Structure 1
Amino acid sequence: MEASGGCGSTHELTEDEKAAGEVVQAAGYRITSYLGEVHRYILDRSMLYGSTESIPYQQAWGVQKVEP
């Protein structure tokens, strides 16, 4: 599987990216572009509760069907 960016470049997907893409497509979504890795982190409980810095993580993970 290969993803192409907006500039005509291509990126060979890793196994993790392929697996994630399959899950997204199986849920009925269509992948229209690839941005590459934007941010990497290890999710822990403190990122879901507390300060205002945790709001983006609360929003992203709050819509998931499975508890993190």
Structure 2
Amino acid sequence: MKKVIYIFSAIAVFIIFSYANKLNVTDNEKVAQQYIKSQGYKIISSSGQLEKYTLEKSKFSETVGIVPLKQIWGLQKNDPDGYFGKRIYVYGFIVTKHPLEKKHINFKNGVSVYVMVSEGTVIGGYSRINSNILTNFTSLDGKTLEQVKGISFEQWNEKWKKNYEN
């Protein structure tokens, strides 16, 4: 009888933790959606959670999806230092009413937006025109690395190498 109780208890705990984990992911995605809407963008579709990783310096040589992690973090207003050891979730959306629509000649199918969430807060993201033509990634609001950082790519790359590629 005790074995049956232990088995049912173990199953109940597993179900509760599984459900709690799904709620956390759903909450993070809601945070990402709310952020996008607060920027004035209209969500056309959602791809849900695309990536999940723990940020470490060693990961800067890897990619998230098809984008090098170094490039992603170069497009953020904040440096990655405060996020080392933290779990990063990336959610994908297709949106309209985004600044890239006005800037890009190949615009016709919306803008792909990738929102990064950590500990229930949007910490950044990146975007690009949603087209068959390969385009560069930009910040969440469509700015280049130079516009975000206020320095040339070469200056940023030297600083990056010094701080993160030792």
Relative to the length of structure 2, the TM-score reads 0.27
- Give the whole-Å Cα distance in 1 for the aligned partners of 2:71 and 2:41: 19
- For residues 17-56 of structure 1, the aligned pairs below 5 Å read 17-48=29-60, 51=61, 53=62, 56=68
> Cα gap change, 1:30/1:43 in structure 2, threshold over 3 Å: closer, same or farther?
farther
- Give the whole-Å Cα distance in 2 for the aligned partners of 1:66 and 1:28: 22
The alignment yields a C-alpha RMSD, in angstroms, of 2.3
- For residues 1-12 of structure 1, the aligned pairs below 5 Å read none
**Does structure 1 retain, via aligned residues, the 8 Å contact 2:37–2:43?**
yes
- Specify the alignment match of 2:74 in structure 1: 62
Which structure has the greater CA radius of gyration? 2
The letter of the residue matching 1:62 is: G
SS in 2 for 1:17: helix
Structure richer in helix, relative to its length:
2
In the TM superposition, residue 20 of structure 1 has moved relative to its aligned partner by 1.4
Count of aligned positions:
53
Q: Where has structure 1 moved over 4 Å in runs of 4 or more?
A: none
- Give the whole-Å Cα distance in 1 for the aligned partners of 2:38 and 2:32: 10
- Specify the alignment match of 1:14 in structure 2: 26
**Between the two proteins, what is the percent identity of the paired residues?**
40
SS in 1 for 2:50: coil
Q: Which runs of 5+ in 1 are unaligned?
A: 1-12
**Does structure 1 retain, via aligned residues, the 8 Å contact 2:29–2:49?**
no
Structure richer in strand, relative to its length:
2
Cα shift readout 1:4-43 (whole Å, capped 9, x = no counterpart): xxxxxxxxx8111011122233234332211122221111
